[in-house]
């Protein structure tokens, strides 16, 4: 599910789950967390590039695997997810997301855990958690307002707006817009430049900018673990898998 390659001082992590458009299934999250821990400890590594195979970055959470049955199970699910979020946002290594195709839900959140987002001109973004009866997770309530401002983040989160790449650049959701098929190439060029920079100032800057993350993740863990047990989430999940509109009742 995860392919790792090394080019000079840059590690490239490629999400490789084509059957689900690189959905962040639990094994994928575990593999990413393990890779981040190992790469963080490598003093020869200067930058990490995260991308998706098969023409998409990530379609978000693997809804077919959202089978949480009790509160303890929900909280345990977030123990692993939050280990990954913290390791990315607080990493001493700069991270660059190279986005082609869709980055949806947790896939969008994963991209925003990176310091820089490079996107192809035909990439698309959406935070569609409400459609399955959940709130945004994977740190998105922390990262999204910091990128686009609270007002714009509110619209994306409440209305599940689909954002194309040119608009994403205009509102600050992404940092660099490139021709289709060249996101990884552009990200690697930026990684090469970061490889020549002094690493300690980068690490300290990232440490300062991660302030506030712990409180956001604790709220997310409590709220989402409860929502997993609601009838609305069960309805949203069933509707998604059956490819029909969901009917929510607030229960």
In angstroms, rounded to a whole number, what is the distance separating the alpha carbons of residues 53 and 4? 12
Confirm whether 8 is domain-assigned: yes
Is 241 domain-assigned? no
Domain total in the chain: 1
> How long a stretch of residues is the chain?
251
Helix (H) or strand (E) holding 187, with range, is helix 183-195
Residue (of 163, 165, 141, 137) closest to 154 by Cα position:
141
In a domain, 234, yes or no: no
Per-residue pLDDT tens digits for 103-155: 999 999 999 999 999 999 999 999 989 889 999 999 999 999 999 999 999 99
Strand pairing class (163-164; 124-126): antiparallel
Asked if residue 208 is part of any domain, the answer here is no
User: Domain range spanning residue 128?
Assistant: 2-182
pLDDT at position 65: 64
Q: What is the mean pLDDT of each run of 10 residues along the chain (251 residues)?
A: 96 95 92 96 97 95 72 80 94 98 96 98 94 92 96 95 96 98 98 96 95 92 90 91 92 90
Residue range 143-170, pLDDT digits in tens: 999 999 999 999 999 999 999 999 999 9
Which residue, 8, 7, 114, 138, is CA-closest to 52? 114
Residue 121 lies inside a defined structural domain of this protein: yes
Residue 63 gets which letter from DSSP? Answer: G
In the DSSP assignment, the letter for residue 175 is S
Q: 222 lies in a domain?
A: no
CATH number at residue 109: 3.90.226.10
- pTM of the predicted protein model: 0.93
Please indicate, yes or no, if residue 223 is contained in any of the structural domains. Answer: no
In a domain, 195, yes or no: no
The secondary structure element, H or E, covering residue 239 is helix 231-242
């Amino acid at each position: 599910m995860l392919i790792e390659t090394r080019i000079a001082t840059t590690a490239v992590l490629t999400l490789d789950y084509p059957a689900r458009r690189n959905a962040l299934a639990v094994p994928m999250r575990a593999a990413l967390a393990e890779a981040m821990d190992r790469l963080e400890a490598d003093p020869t590594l200067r930058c990490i590039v995260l991308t998706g195979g098969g023409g998409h970055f990530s379609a978000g959470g693997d809804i077919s695997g959202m089978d949480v049955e009790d509160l303890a199970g929900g909280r345990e699910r977030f123990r692993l997810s939050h280990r990954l979020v913290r390791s990315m946002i607080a990493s001493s290594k700069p991270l660059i997301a190279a986005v082609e195709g869709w980055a949806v839900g947790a896939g969008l959140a994963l991209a925003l855990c990176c310091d820089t987002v490079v996107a192809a001109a035909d990439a698309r973004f959406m935070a569609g958690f409400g459609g399955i009866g959940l709130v945004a997770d994977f740190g998105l309530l922390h990262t999204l307002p910091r990128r686009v401002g609270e007002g714009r983040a509110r619209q994306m989160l409440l209305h599940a707006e689909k954002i194309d790449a040119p608009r994403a650049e205009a509102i600050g959701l992404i940092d660099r817009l490139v021709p289709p098929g060249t996101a990884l190439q552009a990200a690697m060029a930026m990684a090469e430049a970061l490889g020549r920079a002094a690493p300690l100032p980068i690490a300290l800057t990232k440490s300062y900018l991660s302030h506030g993350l712990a409180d956001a993740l604790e709220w997310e863990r409590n709220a989402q673990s409860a929502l997993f047990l609601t009838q609305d989430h069960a309805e949203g999940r069933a509707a998604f898998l059956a490819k029909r509109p969901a009917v929510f009742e607030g229960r």
